[in-house]
Structures are given as structure tokens and as C-alpha cells.
Structure 1
Amino acid sequence: MANIKPFKAVRPTRDKVSLVASRSYQSYTQAEREARLDHNPYSFLHIVNPGYKYDKEISGVARYQLVKNRYSEFKEDGVFTQDASPYFYIYKVVDRDNQVFNGIVGAASVEDYKNNIIKKHEDTIASKEVVFKDYLKTVGFNAEPVLITYPDNTEVSSIIKKKQEERAEYEFTTTYRDTHYLWLITEKEAISAIVNAFKNIPTLYIADGHHRSSSSELLCLDCKEQNKAHNGTENYNFFMSYFIPESELKIHEFNRLVKDLNGLTKEEFLIQLDAIYRIENRGAIPYKPNKKHHFSMYLDGEFYSLHLRKSIYTFKNSLDKLDAQLLYNTILKPILGITDVRKNNRIDYLSGKKEIVSLVNKIDSGKFRVGFGMIPANIEELKSIADDGLKMPPKSTFIEPKLRSGVTIYEF
């Protein structure tokens, strides 16, 4: 059974939330970041990029301390206030494509994560876990929830629907043309109903935020060791999460871009592919696959369809059936010589949410030699891989929604 709880969020005042809320720091170009930092004194980017105030790049522990300082200043200036009681928060996003996402922001249990009640489908990098743990420990807050999915639940859905009949606490549209809404669940009966509903859900799945989850576990271990009065109810025993039903999760693929053909000529490369795929030249007209185990390939200004010859390939487990893994097993590793997709600089990734012209432009520019496209993984694949204790290769999924940083903040 899953143990989730409400918490006292630190939030922007209603009049400033649209100015505070930001995308993740890495998603902005340098020019975009500078424009926001120059012209918006309330942007959350000022907190996560504190060196901008001094026109200096600052890293490591010194940066963490400055992040904490900027955050304290936002609270002192009344930009942020903390709710007096622990609440759940309904967060709704309507994106530019009119896709609607409804979920609940609350706190997930580190114990559930450790005990595999909250299951993972991606590997994490130990060094990144430690870095982010140290960051969290110094700054004392987290502003980006982990995305966790759960089986559709009528009781939870009815609570969300009823609350959304009221006026939202927040309603703002971003320059990205997404509209964000937030409602506070303050009623004790509704809060208890949500907690109890999740107690009847045996398993939750991380959709996005594996490093944030694992870092929260490390933080909990550190704090537990240092707190002689530890009783398991402290905030560090939980981490902020966005709980969204499986039916509302949107999964996109990541296309693969490779810089060279591993010393092969185009003809030699195609001959090796022919051993395991049926290949058809589709010409210059963009082609996207529409079935599992079918791929598109763009090479020398032309698209190809690749259909797996199933009679000569055996699926040994749920991971082998994942198209991102299949591409690795049949092409990237044996033909193109990319054994470690996490570290090899010959490979790059492009979200399938982007238009196919983005892939074409990157290859036509000469930066890359060949590109591969696939259809997105589905939620059942993600769950099967997690249930089997296996891990997807990196960049197997691009999952939405993407919430704004700084709308709800969880303090430890």
C-alpha cells in the first residue's frame, strides 16, 4: 500500500505566481535565461542561478549556499509564503495542443521508494545522486516534484473534479502557451479520503524524476543518522511528488542521432542492416513508423523504413521488447559500435515531440550521419520493465506533463 501525505507548501503569492514560475533551468537557452534574469526580478531562475547577481559563474557548495540565500530573500520579501496547514494541491495543465493533465501534488514516502512500492524503470548515476543530495541538504527545499503515476482511481478523480468546480487559487498562461491551474485541498475529509485511497493502491511508478527520488533517499539516510530524535515523521522522510493517473500521462519517444557509420560505407551499413531488418527506401518524403519494432531511418537525404525480421530475433524479457533497447541490441551496439549509450559522445537524442524537420536539419547540417525514429513506449511497457526489476536505456521516454518550478515548494 502506498503512503502519501499532505504538506505545508511554500508558494508564490497569487499576484506573482506567473512571474515566479519557470521551466527547468536546463530547458532555456542562454539568451532566454539572460532575458528573464535581466527583466523579471521575480523569476525562480534568480534562486537557482544566484551567481547572476554577481555576474559570475559559481558552482559547488558555494552555489548551494547562495541558492539558499536567494530563496530566503524571496521569503523575506513576501514573494513566497507558507501554508499554515498541510494540504494536497491539485495541479492542472492544459498545453498548447489542448492536452489536459490533472494530478495531485503531495509527499511520497522514502520508505515506499526503498521497499519498491514506488517502482523505477530507469538507472541512475551514483555521482549525480550524491551531488543533488548535497544540494538538497544545503538549500533545505525542493521545487520540482517527482512525476509518479498510479492506476486510475474513481474516488481520487471525483475529489479532483469536485474541487475544480471552485475558483482556482492560481491560473496563469506561460509564454510557452501552456495554462496552469492550482487548487488547494484544505478539507480534512477530502485529505483523508485521498490518503486512504492511495493506501489501497499496491504499487506506484516513477514516470520522471529518478535522480530526484534516489537523492531524496540518500538525504533521508543522512538526516536520519544525524537526528538522534528521529521518529520517521520528519519531512526528510518524504519527497514532493506529482501523482497523475496513468490515463493522463503522455509518453513521447526519443529519436537517436549518430555522428558516423563506425567506419562503414553506406552500402556496407545497409547490407548489415538487411540481415535483421526488411529495408525500404522511402525517398525524401518524411516517414514515421506506426508499429512496434518498426523504425524510421534518415541517411544521405533519404528516409528508410526498417521492419524487424522477427523470425531471427528472440525477445528474452520485457526490456528486449522495448524499441529503444531493440535498436541498441540490433544496430547501435553490434553495427555502429556504441556499447555505452550513457557515455559515448557519438550518439545524441532528440525528443519525438519535435517536428521531424528538426532531425533532418541536424543530419543535413553534417553534425550527424544517420538518425533513427520509433513510436513511443506505452505505460504498460514502462510498468512491465519496472515490475521485472529491469531498467530502460537512457532517453527511452520523454514524459509529460512538465510542471513549472517554484509553484509549490517542499521544505525539509
Structure 2
Amino acid sequence: MATVKPFRGLRPDPGLAAKIAALPYDVMDSEEARRITADNPLSFLRVTKSEVDLPAEADHYSPAVYDQARATLESFVAQGYLRQDGAPCYYVYKQTMGDHTQVGLVAAASVDEYEQGIIKKHEFTRPDKELDRVNHIAATDAQTGAVFLTYRADRGIDALVERCRRRTPAYDFTADDGISHTLYVVDDAGDIAAIEEAFRQIPALYIADGHHRSAAAARVREKCRAANPGHTGEEDYNRFLVVIFPHDQVRIMDYNRVVADLAGFAPTDFLAAVAGKFTVEEHPAGACKPDAAHTFGMYLAGRWYRLTARPGSFDGTDPVAGLDVSILQDNLLAPLLKVGDPRTDKRINFVGGIRGMAELERLVDSGRYAVAFSLYPTSVEELMAIADRGAIMPPKSTWFEPKLRDAMVVHLTGCR
């Protein structure tokens, strides 16, 4: 059963929350982060992408970068920009993006349950990205970005969370991108006990986004435990920062692909080769955004095509092989375009659905890429079914929106 705990969150001063809260470190490059922090020195990107305060030529993974992150976080605390709550709390985090609203519980999840598989994974991690988060957590003694978890929706928990939203929010602001963020502090002892007990009845939690942060929390815990002769298992470093959403509120967008060249094919020959595993139809109406599973849009030489996977070209009984990202990889990207491992092949890139079909057209029309593919989004039910089997999804299968804002609540690990 799932164990989620309240904790003493480190949070922005209410008057500064809109300026401090920032998009996650991994959705932008350093150049964009420098522009943001130049306009807004209070942005939490100065902690999560601390290279912005170092010379441009600095190695982004050098000890100086992590030292800078610690110094900036300590400075924000010393100046009162961030303050720690006096007693353990839960927090309710509501986000609204257009007509979509999702409401999650901010809590501290168990590293033990992550290692035991009660908190379920569906992705491999990259060693370099994992080590980056390990070094960042160790240097700052804090988990500055939350792991996005989901669970099969439970009406009892829904009612508890709704009850906690009847109080005055600690923050309520709309960011520059139009997404609204509202945070409620849950400090009532009765509510805290009820939430903790309700989650004990939930058999599993699922990582939606944040596999590297989860893995890093486990590795940091091992270091902290080894360095603490009085380790009890109740220290803060035994838990990691999460926001937990019911599955019926989670929205996954398409995660599209662009490939730099046609692996020696002329466009007409490539179309003929694609027709071996897909029906190929021109899409004269313009951008082809798939409206059903096993269909794909393809933008090639200034024209859009609709591709439909042929019956028998994939194993629909296998939840991984039946994913659209797998069908495209196994039947087109690998055999025709020679993209063997999407994690390491520099010829392929990935474009979140939030950028729209126009971004795919722009990238191909610019000459940087030869062909683009639009996909139907993976469902949260598919994600959970794969995690329940202990299987692994292909890389870049899911794009979640809206993104959680860093610094809404920070979890201090208490290792140093």
C-alpha cells in the first residue's frame, strides 16, 4: 500500500510566488534560462539551472554549477524569499490550462516503496541525467523539483482533496504562459490523518514524469544512510517530493518525431517503402494531426500524408509493441530510416505536442530535418498497464501538460 507523508515544505513568500515559481529545468536550454533570469532575478531557474549565473563557457555539470545552486538557494532563504513551514503539511496543487484542470496532492513519497515497486516505473534512466540530479540534490540538500505521480482515481480521495480546497489558497497566480497555479496548505491534523490513511488503501502509484528525479532520490538516500550512524529510516532523505494526481485528471499530449535525413531514399522511393507497412494517403487539407490510435501524420517535401498501420504489422496483444511510438519505431524509423536507438541517435529529435503541427512544418521547411511524424497520444491507461507488467515504454512516449512549476514547494532532505 502507498505511504505518503506530510513534510515541512520550503515555500516562496506569498507575494513573490509568481516570480519565484519556474518551469522545470529540463524543458528549456541554458540560453533561454539566461534570458528569463535576466528579466527576473527571482526566478527559481537560478537554482535549478544555476549555470545561468556562471560564465557561458562553464561546464554545466561541473562542481561549480552545483555549488552555485546551493549558494543561490541559501541566499533566497536568508533574504526571506523562501520560508519553511513550522510543522509538517500536505499541499494541494491545482493547475488550469485552457479548459483542462488537474488537482494533485503534494507529499513526500517513500524511497523504500520506489525500490520495492509499489511506486512503479515505465522508463529507463540515462546515467548522465541521473547523476546530474544526484549532484544537485546532494549539493542543495533539497529536492527542488517534484516527481509527477498518478494513481487509479478514488472517490474518497477526491472528496478529501476537494474539502482541503475550501480554505483560502496560499498562492493563486497565472503565469506568463496563461497557465494558472493555485496552492492550498493542508495543516489540519484531522485532514492530514485522513489523507495518509486514504492513500494506505491505494495499491500502487505510477511515475508519470520524473524517473531521473526518483532514481536520484534513491541514490542520495543511500549516501545519506551510509554517512549517518544513527539512521532510523524516518529521516527526510528517506522520502522524495511528489505531486500525485488521479489518473482521470492526467492529460498526455502527443510526442512527435523529426528525422534529419531519409537514409539515402529519394522522397518518392521513401513513400513506396513506407507503403509496405502503412496505408499512405495524401492529406490535402493541411496538417495531419492523428485522431485515432495506429494512425500517423507524415510531413515530407512540403506535403502532409496520413499513415495507417496495416493489420498484422504489429502485435496488438503486447501493450508495449501495440503503442503507436513502438509501431512507428519498429516498422519505419528503424528499418527504413535506420534510427536504431532513439535515445542515442543524433539524427532524430522529439517535439512535444504543445508546440503544434506548425512546429513540425517549420523544422522540415528549414532544412534541418527531412521528415516529421505526428502521433496519437499515449493514454494514461496504457502507461499504467505497461508499468503493472514491469515493462518499459519506448523513450519519449509521453508529453505531459501542464508542467509542474518548480519551487511551489521544496522538500529539504536533511542529509547535511
Paired position in structure 2 for 1:23: 23
Mapping for residues 38-53 of structure 1, pairs under 5 Å = 38-50=38-50, 52-53=52-53
**What is the rounded CA distance, in whole Å, between the counterparts of 2:313 and 2:18 in structure 1?**
55
The answer as to 2:10 corresponding to 1:10 is: yes
What root-mean-square deviation, in Å, do the aligned CA atoms of Structure 1 and Structure 2 show? 1.7
Distance apart, 1:279 and its partner CA? 1.2
**Is residue 117 from structure 1 mapped to residue 118 from structure 2 by the alignment?**
yes
Supply the distance in 1 between the matched residues of 2:229 and 2:72 (Cα, whole angstroms).
Answer: 30
Gaps (5+ residues) in structure 1? none
User: How far apart in 2 are the matches of 1:39 and 1:274?
Assistant: 50
What is the distance in 2 between the residues matched to 1:386 and 1:18? 35
39-48 or 264-273, which deviates more? 39-48
TM-score normalized by the length of structure 2: 0.95
Alpha-carbon deviations, 1:258-290, whole Å to 9, x = none?
A: 111111122221222112111112236222222
CA distance in 2, matches of 1:165, 1:133: 37
Task: Decide whether the 8 Å contact of 1:93 with 1:102 is kept in 2.
Answer: yes
Contact 1:130 1:218 in 2 (8 A): no
Residue-by-residue CA offset, 1:212-253 (whole Å, 9 max, x unaligned): 001111111111112111111111111000000001100011
Query: What residue in structure 2 maps to residue 158 of structure 1?
Result: 159
In structure 2, do the counterparts of structure 1 residues 163 and 315 end up closer, same or farther at CA, with 3 Å as the change threshold?
Answer: closer
> 2:89 pairs with 83, 87, 90, which one?
87
Asked if 1 retains the 8 angstrom alpha-carbon contact of 2:9 and 2:411, the reply is: yes
Q: Distance in 2 between matches of 1:276 and 1:15?
A: 57
1:378 equivalent in structure 2: 379
Letter in 2 for 1:19: K
Aligned pairs for 1:57-206 (under 5 A) are 57=58, 59=60, 60-95=62-97, 97-206=98-207
Q: Using the alignment, how far apart are the partners of 1:407 and 1:19 within structure 2?
A: 11
Q: Is the 8 A contact 2:352 2:399 kept in 1?
A: yes
CA distance in 1, matches of 2:162, 2:67: 41
Which string of whole-angstrom CA distances, capped at 9 and with x for unpartnered residues, describes residues 112-152 of structure 1?
A: 11111011111111232223212211210012110000111
Alignment partners' CA distance in 2, 1:262 and 1:35 = 37
Are 2:223 and 1:222 aligned?
yes
Where does residue 297 of structure 2 map in the other structure? 296
Is the partner of 2:161 in helix, strand or coil? helix
- Percent identity of paired positions between Structure 1 and Structure 2: 32
Where does the alignment leave 5 or more consecutive residues of structure 2 unmatched? none
Aligned partners of 2:313, 2:37: CA distance in 1, in Å? 56
**Runs of 4+ more than 4 Å apart:** 28-32, 49-56
* Whole-angstrom CA distance in 2 between matches of 1:300 and 1:284: 16
Match of 1:357, as an amino acid?
A: A
Shift in alpha-carbon separation, 1:58–1:306, aligned structure 2, 3 A: closer
Letter in 2 for 1:145: A
1:355 Cα deviation (Å)? 2.0
SS of the residue 2:15 aligns to: coil
Task: Give the Cα–Cα distance (whole angstroms) in 1 for the partners of residues 43 and 334 of structure 2.
Answer: 43
Q: Deviations over 1:369-388 (max 9, x none)?
A: 11111110111110111112
> How many Å apart are 1:321 and its aligned residue?
0.5
Aligned residues: 411
SS at match of 1:381: helix
Listed one character per residue, the Cα deviations across residues 74-126 of structure 1 (whole Å, up to 9, x for unaligned) are 1111111110100000011112x131110110001011111110111111112
Deviation at 1:30, TM superposition (A): 5.7
Pair 1:367-2:368 in alignment: yes
How far is the alpha carbon of 1:174 from its aligned partner? 1.0
1:374 partner amino acid: L
Q: Offset of 1:324 from its aligned partner?
A: 0.3
The answer to whether the 8 A contact 1:318-1:388 is kept is: no
Aligned to 1:36: 36
* Residues 234-249 of structure 1: pairs in structure 2 closer than 5 A: 234-249=235-250
Q: CA deviation at 1:34?
A: 3.5
Partners of 2:314 and 2:327 within 8 A in 1? no
SS at 1:390's partner residue?
coil
CA-to-aligned-CA distance 1:290-322 (integer Å, 9 cap, x gap): 221111111111111111111354346210011
1:54, distance to aligned residue in structure 2 (A):
5.5
The answer to whether the 8 Å contact 1:284/1:301 transfers is: no
In structure 2, C-alpha distance between the alignment counterparts of 1:304 and 1:45, rounded to whole Å: 40
Separation (CA, whole Å) in 2 of partners of 1:287 and 1:52: 38
Q: Which amino acid aligns with 1:237?
A: N
State the alpha-carbon separation in 2 of the partners of residues 279 and 51 from structure 1.
Answer: 47
Give 1:27 deviation, angstroms.
Answer: 3.5
Q: Which moved more, 1:121-130 or 1:67-76?
A: 121-130
Match of 2:234 in 1: 233
Amino acid in the other structure paired with 1:7:
F
TM-score when scaled to structure 1?
0.95
CA shift, 1:28, in A, is 4.4
Cα separation, 2, equivalents of 1:377 and 1:257? 18
- Secondary structure of the residue aligned to 2:173 is strand
- The SS at the match of 2:153 is coil
Distance, in Å, in 1 between the alignment partners of 2:280 and 2:135 is 50
